[in-house]
Amino acid sequence: MRVPFNKLQAEFKRVLLSLNFEEWKAELCATTFAANSADGVYTHGLNRFPTFVEFVKEGLVKPGASPTKENAFGALEQWNGNLGAGILNARFCMARAVELARECGIGCVALRNTNHWMRAGAYGWQAAEAGVIGICFTNTIANLPPWGGIDPRLGNNPIVIAIPRAAGHLVLDMALSQYAVGKLVQYKNNNEELPLPGGYNSKGELSTDAAEILQSKRLLPVGFWKGSGLSMMLDLLAALLSRGNPTARITQSEKEFAVSQVFICIKPPDVKYTDQLIEEVISYTKSSRPGHDSGSVLYPGENALKTREKSFREGVLVDEQIWGQVLRM
Amino acid sequence: MRVPFNKLQAEFKRVLLSLNFEEWKAELCATTFAANSADGVYTHGLNRFPTFVEFVKEGLVKPGASPTKENAFGALEQWNGNLGAGILNARFCMARAVELARECGIGCVALRNTNHWMRAGAYGWQAAEAGVIGICFTNTIANLPPWGGIDPRLGNNPIVIAIPRAAGHLVLDMALSQYAVGKLVQYKNNNEELPLPGGYNSKGELSTDAAEILQSKRLLPVGFWKGSGLSMMLDLLAALLSRGNPTARITQSEKEFAVSQVFICIKPPDVKYTDQLIEEVISYTKSSRPGHDSGSVLYPGENALKTREKSFREGVLVDEQIWGQVLRM
């Protein structure tokens, strides 16, 4: 079922206003939730909205909170999210990093005591829209075993790199687990096999069986030992630079809140230079012969843009049950 | 066979002086080559030295060149490596990024027309020794097919993240191929099976047979499609920020030279705060039960430090044939 973007956005806004979000905050949050679904990231658009509402009702996300500056040194700033909505805090800090990059060439904003920002890529698109390179990452609750271990101690800490381009921004948005938990649940429910190994079964063998992996809780980090190390370093960077919680502390509370994030922006060369170089790289990369008949080589963000165009043309794809739930809120 | 660090360093220096490197340049290059081996990264220490010498003799690496500044805007600088030795250019630019971070909180130096920096992690250790967080990456010649394609169009673009710590720095040093080409050759020569899939065979199946993968040239990016996207973004960042060559152009010349690199440093909180947080994260991560009897959870850089201590105690492990070759140079 498809729903017009404006309808989706309006319903989110109505619910957020009823939860005592100010007008502009409700508007911005609602637009981001709707845009996440419109770009095809349904897990962090409509599908995540009911959980977000629950977190607000439980007092874990505070509608009245705004970020406050705690430290600043040149182009490096540290902000406290005061447990406000993750989307609003992240939008604010990425906007601040954009300003710093415009002033200083590069800027870094670290944010503590914030909440789940939903779709990581949203803030990459934001930076690229503003004409700068954007890099951001967040820590999360522990959901990955470190390499060599079996108990989850690392977050899947999504990282984003975005580069502005007139013909469509390049936005890489990757979590450090090979498959998200939500994706594994989807494969399990559909009784489908994963196309590539996604974790270990309880016998310690690589597996393409989502049910087995969900049971063992041994999701695979991207690149095995490499993603494991990268996850630890991103967690440390986020917690150090923001003086906020590392995954270790977030996990103790069992609910994923009060996370730490980093937003870095860099001023790119002028638009003409940037666009020409990007075209050269995309066209070279796409000159690789496809591996399968149906295969094609895509640049990061290419699919999101196609899905977005279709969503605006034909309406945003929604899960009817969750959509019904939101309409009744 | 083990050789004292000082002996290794002295022999490298002797050869470099004979190639018309100035005294201080020969000293710094020789120390870095020796340190790379001492840390256990033999492929980019002694074992790579003869290739480096060849590149100097062919005129691809210019002993007399020094980096020159081309642009600066606040904490963002762009330098030209003038095809000098990659080690010297990278050391210079990381030192400059350290200065910028001390002045501005964060600093970024982009470098074009430079050469292979040998071990990427060396510059992470350099930043951490200087007491700041260091992030750096390089592009390379195309050696990985993009996801969905079969012809190599992406570099394995190593990326480094380093965090200073009194009890031993944390240094992540990862290339974006699951296994380096050198590693695959080693497995092939030893007739050993890879512990985990490292690429595709010519039938398009995931393989643990290094010979098959070397033949198909279809090395696996870390995290499959994720590493493929990350490689493209790092190449674009390096080439854009430095106004240098992307992988597309480096590959045209067939010899890997005139590459592009980025060095970012960030000022961390004070040493006491940083060290306490790192201990908390390491101890939490290591509390994961080991997956195998012999398994253990390590932090990035832990092995390098152990190997270094052993190298200084007992001498640096060398390949006798290559060592003999250097002695005869």
Q: How far is B51 from chain A (nearest CA, A)?
A: 27
* A321 within a domain of the structure (yes/no): yes
Q: Report if residue A318 sits inside a domain.
A: yes
Burial A64-90 (b: 16+ CB within 10 A, else e): ebebeeeeeebbbbbbbbebbbbbbbb
- A106 occurs within a structural domain: no
* Least reliable range by pLDDT among A67-76, A173-182, B278-287, B320-329: A173-182
Same domain, yes or no: B45 and B189: no
Residues 264-303 of A with CB under 8 A from B: 264, 266-269, 273-274, 277-278, 280-281, 284-292, 295-300
Crossing angle of helices B23-38 and B121-129, rounded to 10° = 100
> Can you tell me the mean pLDDT for A253-277?
95
**How many domains does one find in chain A?**
2
pLDDT at residue A100 greater than cutoff 80: yes
Determine contact, residues B25/B16, Cβ cutoff 8 Å. Answer: yes
Decide if B61 is inside a domain.
yes
- With beta carbons under 8 A apart, name residues in chain B contacting A176: 223
Distance CA A210, CA A198 (A): 7
In the structure, what pLDDT confidence band is assigned to residue B293 with cuts at 50, 70 and 90? low
What is each CA distance from A129 to A9, A108, A163, A217, in whole angstroms?
20, 18, 9, 38
E-state strands within B36-145: 68-73, 76-80, 106-114, 133-138
Question: Are residues B124 and B244 both part of a single domain?
Answer: yes
Dihedrals phi, psi of A224, to nearest 5 degrees: 55, -115
Half-sphere exposure of A308 (CA within 13 A, CB side): 14
pLDDT over 90 for what percent of chain A?
Answer: 90
User: Is residue A248 a contact partner of residue B284, using CB atoms and an 8 Å limit?
Assistant: yes
Residue A319's CATH number: 1.10.1530.10
Q: Look at residue A294 in the predicted model and tell me its pLDDT.
A: 67
Average pLDDT over residues B126-142: 98
Mean pLDDT of chain A: 95
| One domain for residues B33 and B128 | yes
Instruction: Indicate whether B38 and B120 sit together in one domain.
Output: yes
**Model pLDDT, residue B29:** 98
The enclosing domain of B6 has a CATH number of 3.30.1370.60
* A74 contacts B104? CB cut-off 8 A: yes
Encode pLDDT of B160-202 as tens digits.
999 999 999 999 999 999 998 878 888 998 999 998 889 989 8
Under a CB-based contact definition with an 8 Å cutoff, are residues B140 and B256 in contact? Answer: yes
B285 inside domain: no
B253 against A213, higher pLDDT: A213
- For residues A56, A59, A64, A67, the Cα torsion angle rounded to the nearest 10 degrees is -100
- The reported pLDDT for the residue numbered A196 is 87
Question: Using the beta-carbon criterion (under 8 Å), do A148 and B295 form an inter-chain contact?
Answer: yes
Task: Report yes or no: A170 at the B interface, CB cutoff 8 Å.
Answer: yes
- Mean pLDDT value of segment A53-79: 97
CA A226/CA B230 separation, integer angstroms: 13
Which pLDDT score, from 0 to 100, does residue B86 have? 98
Q: How confident is the model at residue A180 (pLDDT cuts 50, 70, 90)?
A: confident
Instruction: For chain B, give the percent of residues with pLDDT over 90.
Output: 90
How many angstroms separate the CA atoms of B52 and B75, rounded? 32
For the stretch A195-205, pLDDT in tens is 888 998 988 88
pLDDT surpassing 70 at residue A102: yes
Same domain membership, residue B193 and residue B58: no
For residue A221, the cross-strand partners are: A177
Residues in B closer than 8 angstroms to A262, CB to CB, are none
C-beta atoms surrounding A11 within 10 Å: 20
Position A14 in a domain: yes
Using pLDDT thresholds of 50, 70 and 90, give the confidence band for residue B8.
very high
pLDDT at B294 over 70: no
Q: Are B154 and B144 in contact (CB under 8 A)?
A: yes
Whether B191 and B96 map to the same domain: the answer is no
Mean pLDDT, rounded, of chain B:
95
Greater pLDDT, B204 or A93: A93
Same domain, B103 and B19: yes
Residue B179, domain member (yes or no): no
Distance from the B92 Cα atom to the nearest Cα atom in chain A, whole angstroms:
20
Instruction: Supply the ipTM of this predicted assembly.
Output: 0.97
The boundaries of the domain holding residue B60 are: 2-142+151-166+232-271
| pLDDT one-digit tens code per residue, A285-321 | 999 998 876 678 999 999 999 999 999 999 999 999 9
Chain B residues near residue A266 by CB distance under 8 angstroms? 76, 108, 241
Q: Tell me the C-alpha distance between A87 and A47, whole Å.
A: 15
Q: What percent of chain B has pLDDT over 70?
A: 99
Q: Which two tokens stand for residue B158?
A: 């190593």
Whether the per-residue pLDDT at B141 is higher than 90: the answer is yes
Task: Using alpha carbons, select from B249, B267, B285, B244 the residue that is nearest to residue B67.
Answer: B244
Does residue A203 fall inside a structural domain?
Answer: yes
